[in-house]
Amino acid sequence: MRLVWPATEFLPGYVNALERGWSPDNRRPEAAREELVQIAGNAAGFIGEQVDRAGKGPPIILPDGRSVPRLPGYHQWIWDGEFCGVMNFRWQPGTTDLPPTCLGHIGYSVVPWKQRRGYATRGLALLLANAKHEELPFVELVTDVVNTASQKVIEANGGTVYERFFKPENYGGAESFRYRIKL
């Protein structure tokens, strides 16, 4: 298992996952359909937006439908010979702070048919190695209190609970943990 930069050669696997019902945004299942439309209209443009270190891409659509400016960031795809999921990293240059519309620096999702193989744990470790280049002292990740699988992934990578809180209502309002991982 490795992380790959989004590229045309890997795109059919990504499309297949979307067509099978996986969504890269667990808060917005309709994101899968939206991405399929975007890929069909401009596959090269979609690939290009996956790595946006300047944050110049289109706005981010929040779960409540509002749009907010994109942060600098990038996606990497989990690959084991076929598409397995996505890791994403976003930040604000020069600070560890994130806007209130972004709950954490890192998010990830593994397609259901590849879960329980350690891919999220290994993918996070690989992403953290890349994240060190952004010169942040730590990154924050958020997971629901009931999501023990994600907690195990984060803790296996050195994460410690920094805060217990309730997400804003537009993010579901769930009781959650905010973890920090030192870089």
pLDDT in tens, 122-175: 999 999 998 989 989 999 999 999 999 999 999 999 999 999 999 998 888 999
Instruction: With respect to residue 155, please indicate whether it lies within any of the assigned structural domains.
Output: no
Q: Is residue 142 part of a domain?
A: no
pTM, to two decimals: 0.93
Let me know if residue 126 belongs to a domain: yes
Give the tens place of pLDDT for each residue, 40-59: 999 999 999 999 999 999 89
Which CATH number goes with the domain that contains 120?
3.40.630
- Residue in 107, 99, 183, 103 with CA at minimum distance from that of residue 139: 183
Instruction: State which residues form the domain around 106.
Output: 2-136
In this prediction, residue 46 carries a pLDDT of 96
The answer to whether 96 and 86 have CB atoms below 8 angstroms apart is no
H or E element in which residue 38 lies: helix 31-41
Residue 182 within a domain? no
Query: Does residue 70 form part of some domain?
Result: yes
Q: Residue 2: how many CB atoms within 10 A of its CB?
A: 13
**163 within a domain of the structure (yes/no):** no
pLDDT at 66 over 90: no
Give the Cα separation of 78 and 111 in Å (integer): 10
pLDDT tens figures, 105-117: 999 999 999 999 9
Query: Averaged over 8-12, what is the pLDDT?
Result: 98
Mean pLDDT lowest among 35-44, 55-64, 79-88? 55-64
pLDDT at position 169 is 86
Domains in the chain: how many in total? 1
pLDDT at 114: 97
Determine how many CB atoms are found less than 10 A away from the CB of residue 34. Answer: 14
In a domain, 36, yes or no: yes
Token pair 């808060």 is found at 27
Contact 120, 110 (CB under 8 A): yes
| Residue 81 within a domain | yes
Which residues does 1 contact at the CB level (< 8 Å), separation at least 6?
78, 79, 80, 84, 117, 118, 119, 122, 123
